[in-house]
Structure 1
Amino acid sequence: MLYISLRQYEYVCAIGRHGSLSAAAQHLNVSQPALSTALTRVEEHIGHPLFSRRRGAAMALTPQGRRFIEQAEALLNDAARIETSETPTPGMTQLRLGCFTDLAPFLLAPALHQLRVAFPNLAISYVAASFQGLLNGMIAGQIDISITYDLTMDAGFARAKLFDSRPKALMSPDYPLASTNGVTLADVATHPLILSTEGLSAQHILGLFRRKGLRPTVAHRAASLEIQRSLAAHGEGIGISYASPPSPVSYDNRHLIGIPITDPEAAESVVLARHGTGPADPVIDQVERVLTDRLKQD
C-alpha cells in the first residue's frame, strides 16, 4: 500500500525548491495550510524531519530531506512520463508470449526462435491457451502479446494482422466429398461434423453455417486436433479446422485429406494482439515488428 500520494510528493518538492511554505503555496496555487498538513503527514510517516525550521529563516533541507526530494522528483518525473506516454518506461527485461492452442504447433516455436535471435537479452516465457485464457491473461497483465485468431476481442485490444487462414474440411479419402478440390459450407452441412471442444472455436464455425441458414449436425466434439483428425480418418464425419498439419495420416496411421472450404466469409485472420490501444512499450513495438515480418504468409 502507498501511504504517500503523488500530490504530497509534489508539495514537499515544491517546498524544497522554493525554500518556504508561502512561496511554494503561491507557485502551486494552493493554500499554505494544505502544504503544511502534507509536509507534516509525510514527515510523520517516514519518521524524521525533512526541513529544519528556524523562526525568521528559510526552511533548510536536512540531509535526509535532500535525499528524499531527489528520489521524490525522480518518481514524479517517471509518473509524468507514464501519464503522457511521451517517453515510455525503458527496458523490458521479460516478455510473456501467448499463443492460441491450435496455432501453437505451427507458430510458437518459429516465433520463439525469431525472438531469441532478435532479443538475446530478453527473458522470454510463453503459454499456449484457449481464446478465453489468452484474453484473461492479457487483461490481467500476465501475457504481453498473443498470437491468435481475430475472434472475441473488443475495441480494448490492439491487433496487427499476420495472415488470413482458411478452414479445411478433414475427411477420409473414400468420403463422398473427397474427390473435389474445394467444398462449400452448404456441401459440408449435409454431413455429420466433428468440431473442437473449444467453445469459442466451435461457436465461430457453427456461426458460419447459421449465417447461411444451414443447420448441420454435430456428431463429435474432439478434445484435440489429432482426435478430430483420427475421427475424420475413420469416417466418423467431416472435421473442420483452421489448423491442419500437412501430414496425410493421423496419429493412428489412417489416411485423411484436407479440402479447402471456399466460402469467402470463412477466412479468418491470424493476428498479434495485446491489451490496450495506446502506445506500447518500445520493446513490445519491436517484438510486434519482428513477428509480423517473420510470421507473415503470402
Structure 2
Amino acid sequence: MKITLKQLRVFDAVARTGNVSRAAETIPLSQSATSMSLADLEQHLGSPLFNRHGKKLQLNDYGRWLHPKVHQLLQQAEEIELSAHSGALHGQLIVGASSTIGNFLLAALIADFVQQHPEVDIRLKVANSEQIVDDMVNLRIDLGLIEGICHSHQLTATPWRDDHLVTFCSPQHPLAQQTSISLQQLEEQQWVLREIGSGTREIFTMATQQKLHHLKVKLELGNSQAIKQAVKTGLGLGCLSTLAIASEVEHGELVALSTPDLLISRELFLLTGNSQHQSELSLSFQHFIA
C-alpha cells in the first residue's frame, strides 16, 4: 500500500472544509491535484471516504472513523519536522474558548505565552460552550476552555479555575440601592440573559430552576458586552461572571446586587480530546495557563 503524507493532508483538508477547492487553497495545491490525491487515497483504501452532494463532500462512516487517526498522524509528522530545528517551540495552536474565558482571561495569557515563544502562532476562537465542544469533537480546534458542562464522552474536561456569577443592574434600577435582594424580588424583575447553549446560561439555569419558578426573560443575547449594554438602559437584570462586569462596577456603570439566597459558583474547564495526540506545543501551553 502506497499512501503518502500528501494524500493524508488532502484528506484532512477536505474533511475540514467539505469542499475540494477550499481544501486546495489551504494545502496549497491545484484543485485538480487535490482531487487526484483524494481519488488515489480512496483507491488505495478500496473505499470512498465521503458522501458527495454536488460540490459538497461530507465524511461517511468510514471517513469519520479514519479522520481522527489521520489528524493525529499529521500532527506527529509535523513534530518530526519541527524537531529538526532548534529546541524552541514552533507551530500553530488553535484554541477555542467560551465568551468569559476568551475575552477576560485567555487573551492576556496568550499574549504572554507568545511573547515568550515568538515562533509560536496561537489562534483564538471565541464562541459559546456548546460550539467549543462541537469544534473539539470535530477537530476544528486543538484545545478548548469552557464555562459550562461538557456532555461529550469523546473529550476529557479538566477543572481549570473557579468563577462566580453575579446578578447586576443599572445604577438607576429600583433594586440598585438595596443592601439585600430576596428571591421574590428577583422573580418580579425582567432578565437579560445569555443565549441557550452558552455555559453561563446553563449554569444560571441549573442554579435557579429550583428557586426562581417564574423567570421573566425579556431578552437573550449572544455575548456579555451586549447584555451589559442592555442592562445599562434599565431593560432588566443580568447575570454574568464577576470577571465580565468588574470594570463597569468599578466605574459605577453597573451595580452588583447582593443576593444571599442565590449564590452561583462554577468551575471553568480545559477540554482535550481522548484520542487526540497532545503535541509539545499544546502541553507547554496547558502548563503555562495552569
Q: Which residue does 2:152 correspond to in 1?
A: 154
Q: Which residue does 1:206 correspond to in 2?
A: 205
Q: Percent identity?
A: 16
Amino acid aligned to 2:174: P
**Residue deviations 1:169-214 (CA, integer Å, cap 9, x gap):** 1212243332345656565233111112353443442332113362
Normalised TM-score (structure 2): 0.60
- Counterparts of 1:160 and 1:232, CA distance in 2: 33
Q: Which residue does 2:50 correspond to in 1?
A: none
Amino acid aligned to 2:140: Q
Q: Which residue does 2:34 correspond to in 1?
A: none
2:125 to 127, 144, 150: 127
Residue pair 2:155, 2:272 contacting (<8 A) in 1 also: yes
Normalised TM-score (structure 1): 0.59
2:115 to 117, 138, 141: 117
- Counterparts of 1:130 and 1:195, CA distance in 2: 13
**Residue deviations 1:72-121 (CA, integer Å, cap 9, x gap):** xxxxxxx9xx89xxxx9655622111121343221232122122134332
Evaluate the alpha carbon distance shift between residue 184 and residue 240 of structure 1 in structure 2; reply closer, same or farther with a 3 A threshold. Answer: farther
Q: Which residue does 2:103 correspond to in 1?
A: 105
Cα drift, residue 143 of structure 1: 0.8
Does 2:170 correspond to 1:172? yes
Q: Displaced runs of 4+ in structure 1, greater than 6 A?
A: none
1:188 to 178, 186, 189: 186
Evaluate the alpha carbon distance shift between residue 120 and residue 156 of structure 1 in structure 2; reply closer, same or farther with a 3 A threshold. Answer: same
Cα drift, residue 167 of structure 1: 1.0
Amino acid aligned to 2:248: P
Q: Which residue does 1:217 correspond to in 2?
A: 216
Q: Which structure: larger Rg? A: 1
- Counterparts of 2:287 and 2:182, CA distance in 1: 35
Evaluate the alpha carbon distance shift between residue 199 and residue 139 of structure 1 in structure 2; reply closer, same or farther with a 3 A threshold. Answer: closer
Residue pair 1:195, 1:228 contacting (<8 A) in 2 also: yes
Q: Which residue does 1:227 correspond to in 2?
A: 226
Unaligned runs of 5+ in 2: 5-43, 45-68, 83-89
Amino acid aligned to 2:136: M
Q: Which residue does 1:67 correspond to in 2?
A: none
- Counterparts of 2:244 and 2:265, CA distance in 1: 14
Evaluate the alpha carbon distance shift between residue 244 and residue 124 of structure 1 in structure 2; reply closer, same or farther with a 3 A threshold. Answer: closer
Cα drift, residue 264 of structure 1: 7.4
Instruction: Give the 3-state SS of the residue equivalent to 1:111 in structure 2.
Output: helix
- Counterparts of 1:125 and 1:168, CA distance in 2: 30
- Counterparts of 2:205 and 2:159, CA distance in 1: 24
Cα drift, residue 218 of structure 1: 0.8
Unaligned runs of 5+ in 1: 6-44, 46-78, 293-298
Instruction: Give the 3-state SS of the residue equivalent to 2:245 in structure 1.
Output: coil
**Residue deviations 1:270-290 (CA, integer Å, cap 9, x gap):** 222222277733332221110
Amino acid aligned to 1:122: V
Instruction: Give the 3-state SS of the residue equivalent to 2:268 in structure 1.
Output: strand
1:141 to 130, 133, 139: 139
Residue pair 2:130, 2:197 contacting (<8 A) in 1 also: no
Cα drift, residue 267 of structure 1: 0.9
Q: Which residue does 2:33 correspond to in 1?
A: none
CA RMSD of aligned residues (A): 3.5
Q: Which residue does 1:245 correspond to in 2?
A: 245
Cα drift, residue 158 of structure 1: 2.2
User: How many pairs are equivalent?
Assistant: 211
Cα drift, residue 238 of structure 1: 0.6
Evaluate the alpha carbon distance shift between residue 128 and residue 241 of structure 1 in structure 2; reply closer, same or farther with a 3 A threshold. Answer: same
Residue pair 1:169, 1:261 contacting (<8 A) in 2 also: yes
Matches within 5 A, 1:53-64: none
